Structure 1
Amino acid sequence: MLDLMGGPSPVLEPLGDRIVRHHLTAGAWVDVLPGWVHGSDDIFETLLADRIGWRAERRQMWDDMVDVPRLLRWFGRDEELPHPTLTEAREQLSAHYAAELGEPFVTAGMCLYRDGKDSVAWHGDTLGRSAREDTMVAIVSFGSPRNLMLRPRAGQAETLRFPQGHGDLIVMGGTCQRTWEHAIPKTARPVGPRVSVQFRPINVA
């Protein structure tokens, strides 16, 4: 399918049986589907536009206020997403995981990693209900590939690496936010910008 500019329009691959589930420890799991979104360039260009409203934030770290090493944008449940394929993606994810999750994905948090210096430190999404309940966070990546790292909160198990490229999907589920941590480390390699779109149920952050 082509858009009016002659490029391929975004197309979502059927979720179906192509998703590969990796069972971790303590009831955590990760689903991976490379190349879920075909023709992702149009979405990526839309997400890089100024009208998205990217914000630079500062946060307290020990005794200092420091710059957050990435740009942020949060879309609440009543906000229109900046590209119709993202709305379709959220609906497909909600339908696919309905039996396990028991509720839809409703919010979309977005991070813009401008280059290899931008990152996110080790953490779990444990603000809100995810601090005490099993839940899911579905992440779709656009732009330059970066590694999503996971490690258990307890013990000395090996850190896992999941490369996330243009149009790739990864879903963290079960106890993952409570019993495991994830991060996007800095890299000295020359990399371009990357946008991650994180779909979550209500009151999960």
Structure 2
Amino acid sequence: RRRTKSKRRIAMEPDVAFIEKFLAREESDALLDRIRSESEFKQNQINLYGWKNVPRLEAWYGSWDYPYSKGVALKAAPMPDYLQVVIDRIAAAGFGAFNAVLINRYRDGRDYISPHSDDNYGDAEPTIPSLTLGAARPCRLAKMITGSKLDKSTTVEFVPGHGDLVVMRGRTNADWQHWVPKTAKPVGERINLTFRNKSVPET
């Protein structure tokens, strides 16, 4: 039996919607299995005072390579049908159309992502949905003061679980940064799908 979705605002600011059980348990399990068995994950490197391994695995699906770090780009793989189904579900829920998916694979608590804003591809107020599969990990947002400096007193924390969808909207991506901190606590694998949209010239 499909559970009723619960949709709520995380806070008045930032503008973030949290849709619990956007995918039912059976759907989430099946999607997780497909990603684990069919996605080609890579541990990329970033040039930050010398080349370092990114503390997670990544895969990118779409029609363009994903600019990464000083000339490094994630090579795009064609969009598989099982991810297109999720894109269509998100569009049907009223969150917009998307043509690319970035998948982050956090193998355990040592994997993390630092505070950052997502690429907006020229949209000052992008809508960016994010779907969690597997283990729940705390996610945080904090408002930027100047540049990338954060006002930690504004920190908002939420913990999306298996099948939950988080949607950033409005000025959230421009004015706030978000991150997944590492932890020494025992935690299972988390896979996160972030959906992007970019106008791509027809060839």
Aligned to 2:29: 41
- Cα deviation, 1:90-121, whole Å, max 9, x if unaligned, reads 112223336xx5xx111111000011000000
Q: For the residues of structure 2 that align with 1:67 and 1:82, how far apart are their CA atoms?
A: 30
Q: For the residues of structure 2 that align with 1:43 and 1:178, how far apart are their CA atoms?
A: 30
Aligned to 1:4: none
Letter in 1 for 2:183: T
Secondary structure of the residue aligned to 1:152 is strand
Letter in 1 for 2:114: A
Q: For the residues of structure 1 that align with 2:59 and 2:4, how far apart are their CA atoms?
A: 27
Secondary structure of the residue aligned to 1:129 is coil
Match of 1:200 among 191, 196, 200: 196
Contact 1:34-1:167 within 8 A present in 2 as well:
yes
Aligned to 1:108: 101
Change (3 A) 1:59 1:127: farther
**Cα RMSD (Å):** 2.2
Q: CA deviation at 1:202?
A: 1.4
Secondary structure of the residue aligned to 1:149 is strand
Structure 2 residue 87 is the aligned partner of structure 1 residue 90: yes
Contact 1:115-1:191 within 8 A present in 2 as well:
yes
Q: CA deviation at 1:127?
A: 5.3
Q: Which runs of 5+ in 1 are unaligned?
A: 2-10
Aligned to 1:166: 162
TM score, norm. by length of structure 1 = 0.79
Q: Which runs of 5+ in 2 are unaligned?
A: 64-76, 146-150
Structure 2 residue 120 is the aligned partner of structure 1 residue 123: no
Aligned to 1:65: 51
Secondary structure of the residue aligned to 1:80 is coil
Letter in 2 for 1:185: P
Change (3 A) 1:94 1:14: farther
Q: For the residues of structure 2 that align with 1:45 and 1:191, how far apart are their CA atoms?
A: 18
Contact 1:126-1:178 within 8 A present in 2 as well:
no
Structure 2 residue 130 is the aligned partner of structure 1 residue 134: no
Identical amino acids, percent of aligned pairs: 25
Q: CA deviation at 1:36?
A: 1.4
Change (3 A) 1:45 1:138: same
Letter in 2 for 1:61: L
Match of 1:152 among 143, 149, 152: 143
- Cα deviation, 1:19-42, whole Å, max 9, x if unaligned, reads 2124544xx400001121111222
Change (3 A) 1:21 1:202: same
Q: For the residues of structure 2 that align with 1:177 and 1:115, how far apart are their CA atoms?
A: 26
